[in-house]
């Protein structure tokens, strides 16, 4: 095991002010159990889960309440014991509505756990994979792609490298950072289980160089590991945590257009996902809680909380001492890729990494102007697209034109909008254009 600087660096990217010191020193603490949980059925990419409980049922913590509905889908478990109060629609952080199961929690928290695999080293890979699927584990970095699917690549795509993603390149967020400091051993076991399932020879742990304490903790935890394992120290740059950029920084391989990491023999898993794998395989606990950073300049005590899925944002704010002054903007997730939310009655899910509250001094209400063709967005785009041109195509409702110049390769990282001197809402245009293209594609037979 050794620590190496990243051999490559992706093109483009930006250097926003990170402001991680607000919450990076605050240890993870468990949120007092809220009286009411609103558990969304769609906490992952793919088809929403199908509820199997009805109002009036009592459930144990960890009990299956909604089953997987299709190949790309994931089951949902009760985050806490209690009574099912209702099944209703809820608005999620991404602005869409989806079904949700409302649980009124009770004080005696009885768990219903899955069978465990204490000897996972010798366990059948299929059984371990099944356990990960049954536990409802999804990629916790943000996209929420079901981990079971990610870890079962077709046989003609052998995986030789597993990258453990601890970059956490979004400003403000410190959830993964704290997890790497406090649960390093568990992350190591989770990573080893994933490596065992994939049969990957190489393991790389990718961490940005602005987290030296996490690198030191990982060095200690991984020192006696066998095989080709290294901690790759990435240069701090946004978006180092993005899958394709990270694969390039760590291995020098480029994921082909429209392709997946498995096309270049890589799988990238977030450190939180590795922890969830450990929790599911060794403790039998399905994925029902995660660490969420609640931070920003308009929150009283910025904290990292261990939160059951379905906790309303209002409960998180209350647990952190409430709003300091007046919050002008609330963002679910990181400031670069997160979603602005308009109410605190939105629930958290498996992919909620942070909740940010900003005062009016941090929020600027820009007026967008015409593109001055300065080309800064082209320099900043880590996917080597031309955001200026793309946005003008979409603005004039020519999404076919935008599609021709690779609109669908946009990862919506926000680097272009960050550097635009004309304050053009470039990412918003991309999201709109991509939504139109997706709608068109789904209409075609």
Partner 1 sequence: MDPIILQSTLWLGGIGLVSAIALAVADKYLSVPEDPRIGKVTGLLSGANCGGCGYAGCADYARAIVLQDAELNLCTPGGSACANAIAAFLGKAAEALEKRTALVLCCGDNAETVRRAAYNGINDCAAAQATAGGDKGCTYGCLGYGSCARVCPVNAIAISNGLAKVDKNRCIACGKCVAACPRKLIKLVPSSAVIHVLCHSKDKGPTVKKVCGTGCIGCRLCTKIADDGAIFMDGFLAVVDYTKPPTHDELIAKCPSHCIRKA
342 near partner 1 (CB under 8 A): yes
Quickly tell me which residue has 């300091």 as its tokens. Answer: 324
| Complex with partner 1: residue 215 or 331, whichever CB lies closer | 331
Q: Which of residues 396-425 bind partner 1 (CB under 8 A)?
A: 397, 425
Q: Which stretch binds partner 1 (CB under 8 A): 116-124, 137-145, 254-262, 360-368?
A: 360-368
- Cβ 91 to partner 1, closest distance in Å? 5
Question: Helix (H, G, I), strand (E, B), or coil: what is residue 55?
Answer: coil
Cα separation, 99 vs 109, whole angstroms: 25
Which listed residue (181, 341, 410, 416) binds partner 1 by CB under 8 A?
Answer: 341
Which listed residue (143, 374, 435, 438) binds partner 1 by CB under 8 A?
Answer: 435
432 near partner 1 (CB under 8 A): yes
The candidate with the shortest Cα–Cα distance to 188, out of 247, 106, 271, 280, is 271
Which DSSP category does 238 fall into?
B
360 near partner 1 (CB under 8 A): no
Which listed residue (119, 365, 442, 445) binds partner 1 by CB under 8 A?
Answer: 365
362 near partner 1 (CB under 8 A): no
Q: Which stretch binds partner 1 (CB under 8 A): 204-212, 248-256, 362-370, 400-408?
A: 362-370
Measured N-to-C along each axis, helices 271-282 and 125-134 cross at an angle, to the nearest 10 degrees, of: 100
Number of residues lying near partner 1 (CB under 8 A)? 23
Which residues are registered as beta bridge partners of 264? none
Which residues are registered as beta bridge partners of 270? 165
| Complex with partner 1: residue 94 or 301, whichever CB lies closer | 94
The candidate with the shortest Cα–Cα distance to 267, out of 255, 279, 281, is 255
339 near partner 1 (CB under 8 A): yes
196 near partner 1 (CB under 8 A): no
| Complex with partner 1: residue 204 or 329, whichever CB lies closer | 329
| Complex with partner 1: residue 21 or 397, whichever CB lies closer | 397
| Size of the chain, expressed as the number of residues it contains | 445
DSSP H or E stretch at residue 2: strand 2-5
| Complex with partner 1: residue 9 or 363, whichever CB lies closer | 363
| Cα torsion angle, 85, 42, 167, 429, sign | negative
Q: Which stretch binds partner 1 (CB under 8 A): 20-28, 38-46, 71-79, 429-437?
A: 429-437
370 near partner 1 (CB under 8 A): no
Cα separation, 52 vs 41, whole angstroms: 11
DSSP one-letter string for 308-325: ETT-BHHHHHHHTT-BSS
| Complex with partner 1: residue 179 or 341, whichever CB lies closer | 341
Q: Are 265 and 198 contacting, i.e. CB atoms less than 8 angstroms apart?
A: no
Q: Are 178 and 306 contacting, i.e. CB atoms less than 8 angstroms apart?
A: no
Tell how strand 329-332 and strand 339-340 pair up: antiparallel
91 near partner 1 (CB under 8 A): yes
- Cβ 297 to partner 1, closest distance in Å? 19
Cα separation, 289 vs 174, whole angstroms: 16
Helices (H) and strands (E) in the chain, counts: 13, 18
- Cβ 369 to partner 1, closest distance in Å? 13
Q: Which of residues 256-275 bind partner 1 (CB under 8 A)?
A: none
Q: Which stretch binds partner 1 (CB under 8 A): 14-22, 60-68, 333-341, 347-355?
A: 333-341
The candidate with the shortest Cα–Cα distance to 161, out of 206, 197, 202, is 202
Which listed residue (70, 95, 212, 227) binds partner 1 by CB under 8 A?
Answer: 95
- Cβ 339 to partner 1, closest distance in Å? 7
Q: Are 13 and 245 contacting, i.e. CB atoms less than 8 angstroms apart?
A: yes
Which listed residue (15, 29, 54, 96) binds partner 1 by CB under 8 A?
Answer: 96
Q: Are 132 and 151 contacting, i.e. CB atoms less than 8 angstroms apart?
A: yes
Tell me, residue by residue from 214 to 253, as one string, x for binding to partner 1 by CB under 8 A and - for no binding: ----------------------------------------
Q: What's the angle, vertex CA 119, arms to CA 118 and CA 123, rounded to 5?
A: 120
Which listed residue (57, 113, 428, 437) binds partner 1 by CB under 8 A?
Answer: 428
441 near partner 1 (CB under 8 A): no
361 near partner 1 (CB under 8 A): no
180 near partner 1 (CB under 8 A): no
143 near partner 1 (CB under 8 A): no
Q: Are 345 and 132 contacting, i.e. CB atoms less than 8 angstroms apart?
A: no
86 near partner 1 (CB under 8 A): no
239 prior amide bond cis, ω within 30:
yes
Distances (CA, A) of 124 to 117, 199, 286: 10, 12, 19
- Cβ 289 to partner 1, closest distance in Å? 24
SS3 content of the chain, % helix, strand, coil (to 5): 30, 20, 50
Q: Which residues bind partner 1 (CB under 8 A)?
A: 91, 93-97, 339-343, 365-366, 368, 395, 397, 425, 428-429, 431-432, 435-436
């Amino acid at each position: 095991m050794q620590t190496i600087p990243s051999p490559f660096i992706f093109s483009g990217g930006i250097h926003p002010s990170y402001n991680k010191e607000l919450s990076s020193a605050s240890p993870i603490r468990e949120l007092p159990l809220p009286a009411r949980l609103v558990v969304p059925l769609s906490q992952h990419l793919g088809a929403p889960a199908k509820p199997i409980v009805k109002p009036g049922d009592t459930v144990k913590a960890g009990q299956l309440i909604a089953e997987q509905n299709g190949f790309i889908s994931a089951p949902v478990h009760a985050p806490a014991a209690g009574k099912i109060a209702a099944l209703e629609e809820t608005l999620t952080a991404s602005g869409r509505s989806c079904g949700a199961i409302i649980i009124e929690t009770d004080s005696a928290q009885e768990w219903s756990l899955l069978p465990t695999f204490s000897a996972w080293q010798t366990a059948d890979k299929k059984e371990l994979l099944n356990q990960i699927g049954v536990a409802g584990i999804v990629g916790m970095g943000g996209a929420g792609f079901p981990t079971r699917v990610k870890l079962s690549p077709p046989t003609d795509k052998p995986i030789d490298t597993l990258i453990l993603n601890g970059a956490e390149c979004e400003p403000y967020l410190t959830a993964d950072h704290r997890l790497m400091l406090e649960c390093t051993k568990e992350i190591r076991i989770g990573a080893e289980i994933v490596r065992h399932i994939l049969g990957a020879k190489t393991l790389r742990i990718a961490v940005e160089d602005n987290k030296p304490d996490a690198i030191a903790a990982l060095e200690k935890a991984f020192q006696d590991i066998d095989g080709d394992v290294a901690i790759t120290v990435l240069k701090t740059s946004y978006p180092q945590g993005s899958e394709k950029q990270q694969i390039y920084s760590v291995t020098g391989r480029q994921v082909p257009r429209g392709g997946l990491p498995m096309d270049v023999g890589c799988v990238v898993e977030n450190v939180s996902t590795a922890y969830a794998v450990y929790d599911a395989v060794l403790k039998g606990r399905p994925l029902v809680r995660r660490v969420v950073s609640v931070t920003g300049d308009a929150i009283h005590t910025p904290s990292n909380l261990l939160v059951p899925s379905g906790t309303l944002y209002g409960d998180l704010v209350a647990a952190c001492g409430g709003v300091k002054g007046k919050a002008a903007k609330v963002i679910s997730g990181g400031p670069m890729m997160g979603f602005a939310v308009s109410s605190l009655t939105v629930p958290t899910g498996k992919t909620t990494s942070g909740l940010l509250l900003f005062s009016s001094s941090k929020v600027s209400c820009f007026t967008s102007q015409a593109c001055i063709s300065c080309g800064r967005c082209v320099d900043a785009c880590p996917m080597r697209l031309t955001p200026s041109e793309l946005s003008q195509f979409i603005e004039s409702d020519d999404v076919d034109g935008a599609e021709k110049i690779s609109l669908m390769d946009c990862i919506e990282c926000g680097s272009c909008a960050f550097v635009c001197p004309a304050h053009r809402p470039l990412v918003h245009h991309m999201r709109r254009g991509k939504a139109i293209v997706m709608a068109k594609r789904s209409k075609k037979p």
